[in-house]
């Protein structure tokens, strides 16, 4: 039998709780959701008429909570959109609108005219505690996904420091 120290177990449970979406019961009214979470940053309609309220945590945030509402205006569920499983559903040819509906507004948007490309960046976290950046590369002319890429988030990594090297680059 494996023994796990109580302090480590508590840390793991707390880490998992950080990924838990806000508690919104199915059937909650829009007024109840707004009272609990505030006004959404974006309200979008899906192709099937579904209404989704998006709550991104900002340019440095790693969560975007989505609250779906049925035709009756009642909550159907809440989910964290920025996960590796969800990003895996992005396919070449998807439109900007489809990506924005699924993930909310990106952290940053970069244009690369020489490549004919626009890149949307989403910060996210892989449990437990690995900070990542997911990039969606769009063809600038068509607005459709070309490819995606994923990388470690440099905002959360320590710079590499070499001890003992002078400014001239020579060893002392």
Q: Where are the extended beta strands (E) located within the chain?
A: 42-45, 51-56, 64-69, 75-80, 108-112, 117-126, 130-139, 145-152
Architecture of domain 82-160: 2-Layer Sandwich (3.30)
State the chain's mean pLDDT as an integer: 84
pLDDT at 145: 98
pLDDT over 70 (residue 76): yes
Q: SS3 of 57, please? A: coil
Q: For domain 21-81, give the CATH number.
A: 3.30.1450.10
Report d(CA 49, CA 2) in Å as an integer.
Answer: 50
Q: SS3 of 90, please? A: coil
Say whether 82-160 and 21-81 share the same fold: yes
Q: What are phi and psi of 134, to 5 degrees?
A: -110, 130
64 closest CA partner among 51, 83, 39 = 83
pLDDT over 90 (residue 8): no
pLDDT at 84: 92
* Domain limits, the chain: 21-81, 82-160
Confidence of residue 5 (pLDDT cuts 50, 70, 90): very low
Per-residue pLDDT of 85-142, as tens digits, reads 999 999 999 999 999 999 999 999 999 999 999 999 999 998 777 899 999 999 999 9
pTM check: above 0.85: no
């Amino acid at each position: 039998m494996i023994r796990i120290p109580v302090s480590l177990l508590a840390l793991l449970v707390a880490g998992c709780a950080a990924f838990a979406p806000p508690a919104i019961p199915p059937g909650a009214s829009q007024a109840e959701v707004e009272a609990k979470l505030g006004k959404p940053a974006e309200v979008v309609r899906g192709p099937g008429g579904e209404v989704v309220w998006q709550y991104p945590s900002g340019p440095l945030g790693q969560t975007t909570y989505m609250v779906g509402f049925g035709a009756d205006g009642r909550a159907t569920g809440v989910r964290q959109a920025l996960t590796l499983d969800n990003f895996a559903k992005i396919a070449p040819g998807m439109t900007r609108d489809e990506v924005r509906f699924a993930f909310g507004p990106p952290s940053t948007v970069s244009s690369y005219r020489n490549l004919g490309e626009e890149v949307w960046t989403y910060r996210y976290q892989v449990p437990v505690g690995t900070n990542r950046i997911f990039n969606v590369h769009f063809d600038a002319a068509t607005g459709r996904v070309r490819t995606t890429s994923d990388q470690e988030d440099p905002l959360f990594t320590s710079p590499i420091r070499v001890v003992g090297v002078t400014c001239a680059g020579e060893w002392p």
